[in-house]
Amino acid sequence: MKSITIKGSQRESVGKKATKALRNAGMVPCVVYGGEKPLHFSAHELAFRDLVYTPNAHTVVVVLEDGKKLQAIMQDIQFHPVTDKILHIDFYQLFADKELTMNIPVKLLGSSPGVRNGGRLLFRKRLLAIKALPDNLPDFFDIDITKLKIGDNITVESLLNDDFTILHPETTVVVQVKTARAAVEEVEDEDEEGVEGEEGAEAAEGAEATAQETAEGNE
């Protein structure tokens, strides 16, 4: 999984007054949990742009002014209810020999023939929770939908891998193509037109035969 580096400064004071002063200066107060004790630090709001405003999942390398580095993942984030500015971020420290749980995004590749034929694509799981060691975390799940016809689906079972554990039942549907009502109505209309056409042809043939018999009688 790709990693983003966040350069910050360790915080000694964590009171409300100090936190407010940080935010007024465009800084975001953060806490890293999971180690021997919580680590408080702050970084400029722009430093989190590629981490927060993206659909992709990333790990984070926190680099402090004293040269200390640690690897983490974002666990929780708080936004201002009006301005949407980042107010606070919680991280969880990663260790190479310790598994963690993380939501991984799903990406669909290609186009479905079922959709082109009038079906409806249902993207059931855009994120999948997995458990893995940090080095085995995938960036995302790629799912090829170029063979999905109407009525077909792709489940978690097809995504199983020895490098991680997917925390969903194997039968969980990730994406599927269902019959759209419009497609059903279109087929029904075509069938009705076919029946009417056959009835019309039979009626025309009957009328033609009657006219021929009348003409022969007059002769």
Q: What is the 3-state secondary structure (H, E, C) of the chain?
A: CCEEEEEEEECCCCCHHHHHHHHHCCEEEEEEECCCCCEEEEEEHHHHHHHHCCCCCCEEEEEECCCCEEEEEEEEEEECCCCCCEEEEEEEECCCCCCEEEEEEEEEECCCHHHHCCCEEEECCCEEEEEECHHHCCCCEEEECCCCCCCCEEEHHHHCECCEEECCCCCCEEEEEECCHHHHHHHHHHHHHHHHHHHHHHHHHHHHHHHHHHHHHHC
* 23-32, 39-48, 173-182, 204-213: least confidently modelled range: 204-213
pLDDT for residue 204:
45
Q: What is the mean pLDDT of residues 64-74?
A: 92
Q: What is the mean pLDDT of residues 162-180?
A: 95
pLDDT for residue 138:
93
pLDDT for residue 189:
46
pLDDT for residue 201:
47
Confidence label for 203 from pLDDT (cuts 50, 70 and 90): very low
Domains of the chain: 3-93 (2.40.240.10), 100-178 (2.170.120.20)
pLDDT tens-digit series, residues 172-196 = 999 999 997 655 444 444 444 444 4
What's the chain's average pLDDT?
85
pLDDT tens-digit series, residues 103-127 = 999 999 999 999 999 999 999 999 9
